[in-house]
Amino acid sequence: MLLAFLIILNMPFYLGCGAKAEDETRPKKEVKAEGPVAADFTLKDLNDKDVKLSDFKGKVIILDFWATWCPPCVREIPHFNELYKEYAEKGLVVLGVSLDRGGVDAVKSFKEKRTPIDYTVVMGNQETGGVYQLYLPPEERGGIPFTFVIDRDGVIRQHYVGYRDKDVFVRAIKPLL
C-alpha cells in the first residue's frame, strides 16, 4: 500500500515535464476563437539585450515556453526552426521563452552543444510564466511546453500545452500570415 502511494505521489517526476505534456494519446485541445490580447513583457535574450513582445506588433508570433530539460520541448525546436526559416519573410516570428532555472549559461550550452536554435530565445521568469499560464484553462496549467499563436494585432488566437507536430503550427499560422 505504501509503495503504491509513493509511486502515485512521484508520478509527475517519472512522467517528465508534466503528464499532460507527455500524453500524446489524449485529445488535443486547440482554441480557434479570438482570445485576449497577449500581455506585453520585457525579457533578456541570451546576449543580455532587452526583448519586448510589443517589438513584434504587426507580426504573427509563435510564443513558446520551454526548458532544456523537457523532452517534448526539445522535440519541438526543429519544428520551430523550420517554421521560422519558411515563414519569416511572410511575417512570422518565433520567440522561445526559456524557463530553465540554470539561467542563460544552461541555455547557451544547450544551444551550442545539443540543439541549434535559429530563432530568438529569451530568459523567462516566474512572473511572465505565471501571467501566460493564466491564459490557459485551469485543467491545462502546469505542464510545459505551452505555446501561443498570436496574430498581427497581438491577440492570442491559439494555445497548445504539450508537444505538437509541425503541421499543427502550420495550420494555425497560415491564415494569419
DSSP string, 2-22: HHHHHHHHTHHHHHSS-HHHH
The proportion of the chain whose per-residue pLDDT surpasses 90, expressed as a percent, equals 77
CA dihedral 64, 70, 162, 52 (to 10 degrees): -10
Looking at residue 114, the DSSP 8-state letter turns out to be: T
* 168/62 Cα distance (integer angstroms): 12
Q: What pLDDT is stored for residue 35 in this prediction?
A: 82
Mention every residue, 6+ apart, whose C-beta is less than 8 A from residue 167: none
Cell of 155: 491577440
In tens, the pLDDT along 143-176 reads: 999 999 999 999 999 999 999 999 999 999 999 9
For range 136-144, the mean pLDDT:
94
Lowest-confidence region among 8-12, 81-85, 98-102: 8-12
Assess whether pLDDT exceeds 90 at residue 12: no
HEC sequence for 54-111? HHHCCCEEEEEEECCCCHHHHHHHHHHHHHHHHHHHHCEEEEEEECCCCHHHHHHHHH
Assess whether pLDDT exceeds 50 at residue 26: no
> What mean pLDDT value characterizes the chain?
85
In tens, the pLDDT along 78-93 reads: 999 999 999 999 999 9
pTM score over 0.85: no
- Homologous superfamily of the 34-176 domain (CATH): Glutaredoxin (3.40.30.10)
Q: What pLDDT is stored for residue 43 in this prediction?
A: 98
Q: Is 142 left (phi over 0), alpha (psi -120 to 50) or beta?
A: left
* 36/116 Cα distance (integer angstroms): 32
Domain range list for the chain: 34-176
